[in-house]
């Protein structure tokens, strides 16, 4: 009889049970959920740990090759299945079958290496909305051991080649190219200090799935390169650069496109840090040869990439440079000549229809460093709006330093080559090396694009001049800086370039930053101010109030503000405040001590993107904005309730011969009198309003111009219908007007229905309209309503 330990039946039974147990816990069910993985690539060697500045080594290597970083090899066999069991990380052997994960998830569950990259910037299965995502994290335990090496990011579907990013002091940052849908990524860490780093079976790996949904419900930012009529379509570059990569239009397109991708990645990350989600402007795209990586260019792979429009002006190169010289003369009449040329060329190229708004950022390719004049000609750095065109322009004098692909981002922001002013400009003496020139060019153009989106200058961030450290967003180690004369070193998040908090607040309500799951925006984005006595002003906005900026006298930028986000910051529409009260004394407490008794300015921004500036808050609250209604005409109404307040006026009130007009409705101060009809006099603007009562008496606001006899809007006096508000189209004057009533009726928009911008004048809760006020020249050029707490049906 065989010994008990040789009981073959028992062995078979145990083997069969063990086999079933391992199959039931191998995590292979993920394959049915679309999460099956394939292998990553070989991990390139890391920087030597003793190097004082890895960026210098990259730069030296770049000059020994025509390619900044050779593309990593493509995956060659199925990848190990990511570990889904024990969450603890362990250092494991590199021997296949013992410490390495097995292909396709078959075999026993194995521990994950403690040196697998930890992603700290985004969670698994998160959603993003842009082409390029910034990902960062740590390797190992930074507090216990500082590691250098590389993290290689590869896609499990190999639709984008693996790319390597440096790890310094256990920190790494990487840019990831996003395709619509699920993006399944593998992150491999390699270091000479760790076993198995140079083998074909790296074990220090982690996995991440990111879902990308293009925000096609938002208007795009369009990119354009502007050329003179006779332009050679080249940009300034040193001979070595021209020999290595060229300086023609094709290279310019790739560099400008990559700069825009960096704008996106930077902005989305900043919005996330400000708790607004990864919302960001989208770029117009086209189906073309991919340029974001070297493999696409070599193989001619087609992708949906950011589109760069090529626009030629009707002006010659000499004319552009002459206009630029005039612009640099403060006394010249052509100060904004280049901006005007760009406006005309862009409008002629896109041919927008009336009412269509465009957002276009332009690169002036013909900018040229004039070594004789020591200035950059055919260059301007401007951003703003002209009608329905929001435009930014910037020159190409730093373009040679831009990266053309993902592989070149780290080398571009690490290249310490001194700027050779025999060929290229040292912009503002802040671009003394190649990587600093990249900061200035990419960052300053982003600054002007910020103006395009409506941003003013700020106390910090991109809209000041903090873009001189834009590189820190994408780098874990900074190279030697000629600007600061510092040797560089590790980069901390606190030292990175930022968008100011107020910039992010504005982006939150900007139409270009809308996300697919945002609630439908209110068609009325306007903000109205209503003085109500006691040093208080009530603010109303149909779309909700987002924040209030507070300015002391002589403040060029805002230092203090109040946010009213509530629970609506995420975009679900909850918690939005549509009416708030501002108290003068409370606002003044926010200012510096020496400015509290001086002029106070307030700027209010709505969730719909509209704004209202109150240039002098005290004046709006003063006695000039209120008056007493005629006494004794309303029996039983307390005297204190008979104060009327004038709302903030729309229009500039600056037409020639403009005079003030004000009408207090007779029905508001006399019992038994009812407003029966309103006659609106108008042409392509509002000429006047005539209020007719049931006793045939009338009151005229403005003049009887425009259409003969005007248009009549009848009130339903049997139902006691009265006026509850107006919708006004206003700009420099009053273009059109619409009447709202207590029964929910609306009149047509009389005048020019699409002139100026829209404003809804509905009093705050508890107040009624008792009249209208404003001014009139040749036609009405100022309008507001008079409100009171009188409990009347007007």
Domains in the chain (CATH in brackets) are 4-212 (2.60.40.10), 222-452+464-498 (no CATH), 528-621 (no CATH), 636-788 (2.100.10.30)
Instruction: State how far the Cα of 399 lies from the Cα of 367, in Å rounded to an integer.
Output: 10
Instruction: State how far the Cα of 207 lies from the Cα of 27, in Å rounded to an integer.
Output: 14
Which of helix, strand or coil describes residue 231? coil
Q: According to DSSP H, which parts of 159-224 are helical?
A: none
Q: Is the distance from CB of 125 to CB of 209 less than 8 angstroms? A: yes
- How many Cβ atoms from other residues are within 10 Å of residue 722's Cβ? 21
Instruction: State how far the Cα of 253 lies from the Cα of 638, in Å rounded to an integer.
Output: 72
Instruction: State how far the Cα of 458 lies from the Cα of 583, in Å rounded to an integer.
Output: 25
**Structure confidence at residue 324 (pLDDT):** 60
**Structure confidence at residue 26 (pLDDT):** 35
Instruction: State how far the Cα of 417 lies from the Cα of 431, in Å rounded to an integer.
Output: 11
Instruction: State how far the Cα of 60 lies from the Cα of 68, in Å rounded to an integer.
Output: 10
Structure tokens that stand for 790 in this block: 């009188």
Q: Summarize pLDDT for 50-75 with one digit per residue, the tens.
A: 333 433 333 334 433 333 333 333 33
Instruction: State how far the Cα of 550 lies from the Cα of 587, in Å rounded to an integer.
Output: 7
- How many Cβ atoms from other residues are within 10 Å of residue 570's Cβ? 16
- The segments of the chain whose pLDDT lies below 70 read 1-111, 196-202, 324-335, 567-574, 631-641, 790-794
Torsion angle of C-alpha atoms 124, 568, 276, 602, degrees rounded to 10: -170
Q: What are phi and psi for residue 210, nearest 5 degrees?
A: -125, 135
Structure tokens that stand for 697 in this block: 């008496």
Eight-state DSSP code of residue 481: B
The secondary structure of 83-129, three-state, reads CCCCCCECCCCCCECCCECCECCCCCCCCECCCCCEECCCCCCEEEC
Q: What are phi and psi for residue 591, nearest 5 degrees?
A: -90, 165
Torsion angle of C-alpha atoms 110, 113, 114, 115, degrees rounded to 10: -170
Smallest Cα–Cα separation from 268: which of 278, 258, 277?
Answer: 278
Instruction: Show the CA angle centred on residue 698, arms to residues 692 and 702, nearest 5°.
Output: 100
Q: Is the distance from CB of 80 to CB of 186 less than 8 angstroms? A: no
Smallest Cα–Cα separation from 617: which of 651, 660, 588?
Answer: 588
**Structure confidence at residue 777 (pLDDT):** 95
Beta bridge partners of 771: 664, 786
**Structure confidence at residue 703 (pLDDT):** 95
Instruction: State how far the Cα of 393 lies from the Cα of 398, in Å rounded to an integer.
Output: 14
Q: How many residues does the chain have?
A: 794
Instruction: State how far the Cα of 642 lies from the Cα of 669, in Å rounded to an integer.
Output: 9
Smallest Cα–Cα separation from 112: which of 71, 131, 140?
Answer: 140
Identify the sign of the CA torsion 561, 564, 568, 571.
negative
Q: Is the distance from CB of 483 to CB of 432 less than 8 angstroms? A: yes
Beta bridge partners of 289: 302
DSSP string for 441-459: HHHHHHHHHHHHTT----S
- Close Cβ partners of 247 (under 8 Å, ≥ 6 residues apart): 234, 235, 236, 237, 241, 400
Please name the residue that has the structure tokens 């020019």: 752
122-to-114, 174, 208, 541 alpha-carbon distances in Å: 19, 12, 9, 35
**Structure confidence at residue 385 (pLDDT):** 93
202-to-15, 37, 79, 164 alpha-carbon distances in Å: 31, 15, 10, 14
Eight-state DSSP code of residue 594: G
Query: What is the edge-to-edge ordering of all strands in the sheet holding 675-682?
Result: 698-702, 686-693, 675-682, 711-714
Q: Is the distance from CB of 734 to CB of 686 less than 8 angstroms? A: yes
Q: Is the distance from CB of 749 to CB of 742 less than 8 angstroms? A: no
């Amino acid at each position: 009889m065989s010994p008990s330990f040789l009981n073959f039946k028992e062995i078979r039974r145990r083997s069969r049970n063990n086999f079933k147990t391992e199959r039931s816990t191998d995590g292979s069910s993920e394959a049915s959920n679309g999460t099956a993985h394939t292998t990553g690539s070989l991990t390139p060697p890391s920087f030597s740990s003793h190097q004082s500045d890895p960026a210098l080594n990259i730069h030296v290597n770049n000059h020994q090759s025509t390619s900044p970083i050779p593309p990593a090899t493509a995956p060659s066999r199925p990848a190990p299945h990511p570990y889904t069991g024990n969450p603890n990380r362990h250092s494991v052997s590199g021997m296949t079958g013992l410490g390495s994960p097995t292909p396709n998830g078959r075999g026993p569950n194995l521990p994950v290496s403690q040196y697998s990259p930890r992603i700290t910037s985004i969670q698994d299965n998160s959603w993003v909305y842009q082409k390029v995502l910034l990902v960062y994290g740590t390797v190992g335990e930074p507090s216990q051991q500082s590691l250098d090496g590389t993290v290689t990011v590869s896609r499990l579907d190999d639709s984008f080649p693996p790319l390597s990013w440096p790890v310094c002091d256990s920190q790494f940052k990487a840019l990831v190219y996003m395709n619509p849908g699920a993006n399944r990524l593998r992150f491999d860490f390699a270091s000479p200090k760790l076993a198995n780093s140079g083998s074909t079976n790296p074990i220090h790996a982690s996995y991440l799935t990111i879902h990308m949904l293009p925000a096609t419900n938002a208007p795009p930012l369009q990119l354009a390169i502007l050329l003179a009529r006779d332009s050679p379509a080249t940009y300034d570059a040193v001979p070595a650069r021209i020999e290595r990569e060229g300086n023609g239009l094709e290279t310019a397109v790739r560099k400008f496109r990559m700069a825009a991708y960096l704008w996106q990645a930077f902005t989305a990350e900043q919005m996330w840090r400000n708790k607004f989600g990864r919302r960001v402007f989208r770029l117009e795209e086209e189906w073309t040869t991919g340029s974001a990586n070297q493999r696409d260019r070599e193989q001619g792979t087609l992708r949906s990439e950011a589109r760069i429009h090529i626009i030629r002006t009707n002006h010659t190169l000499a004319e552009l440079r002459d206009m630029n010289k005039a612009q640099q003369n403060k006394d010249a009449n052509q100060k904004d000549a280049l901006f005007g040329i760009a406006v005309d060329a862009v409008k002629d190229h896109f041919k927008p229809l009336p009412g269509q708004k465009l957002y276009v950022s332009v690169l002036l390719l013909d900018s040229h460093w004039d070594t004789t004049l020591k200035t950059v000609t055919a260059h301007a750095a401007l951003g703003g709006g002209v009608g329905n065109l929001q435009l930014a322009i910037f020159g190409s004098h730093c373009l040679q330093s831009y990266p053309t692909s993902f592989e070149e981002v780290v080398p571009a922001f690490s290249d310490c080559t001194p700027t050779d002013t025999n060929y290229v400009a040292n912009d503002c003496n802040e671009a003394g090396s190649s990587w600093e020139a990249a900061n200035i060019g990419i960052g300053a153009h982003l600054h002007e694009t910020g103006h395009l989106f409506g941003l003013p200058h700020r106390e910090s961030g991109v809209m000041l001049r903090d873009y001189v450290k834009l590189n820190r967003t994408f780098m874990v180690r900074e190279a030697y800086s000629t600007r600061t004369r510092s040797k560089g070193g590790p980069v901390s998040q606190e030292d990175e370039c930022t968008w100011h908090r107020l910039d992010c607040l504005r982006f939150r309500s900007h139409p270009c930053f809308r996300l697919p799951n945002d609630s439908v925006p209110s068609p009325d984005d306007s903000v109205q101010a209503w003085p109500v006595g006691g040093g208080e002003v009530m603010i109303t906005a149909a779309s909700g109030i987002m924040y209030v900026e507070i300015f002391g006298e002589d403040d060029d930028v805002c230092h203090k503000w109040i946010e009213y986000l509530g629970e609506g910051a995420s975009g679900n529409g909850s918690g939005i405040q549509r009416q708030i009260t501002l108290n003068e004394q409370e606002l003044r407490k926010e200012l510096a001590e020496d400015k509290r008794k001086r002029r106070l300015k307030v700027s209010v921004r709505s969730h719909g993107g509209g704004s209202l500036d109150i240039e002098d808050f005290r004046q709006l609250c003063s006695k000039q904005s209120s008056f007493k209604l005629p006494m004794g005409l309303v029996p039983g109404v307390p005297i204190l309730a008979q104060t009327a307040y004038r709302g903030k006026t729309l229009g500039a009130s600056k037409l020639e011969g403009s005079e003030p007009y004000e009408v207090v409705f007779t029905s508001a101060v006399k019992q038994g009198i009812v407003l029966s009809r309103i006659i609106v006099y108008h042409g392509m603007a509002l000429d006047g309003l005539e209020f007719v009562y049931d006793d045939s008496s009338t009151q005229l606001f403005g003049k009887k111009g425009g259409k003969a006899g005007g248009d009549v809007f009848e009130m339903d006096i049997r139902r006691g219908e009265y006026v509850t508000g107006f919708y006004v189209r206003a700009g420099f004057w009053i273009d059109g007007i619409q009447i709202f009533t207590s029964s929910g009726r609306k009149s047509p928009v009389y005048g020019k229905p699409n002139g100026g911008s829209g404003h809804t004048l509905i009093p705050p809760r508890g107040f009624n309209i008792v009249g209208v006020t404003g001014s009139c020249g040749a036609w009405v050029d100022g309008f507001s309503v008079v409100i009171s707490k009188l409990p009347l049906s007007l």
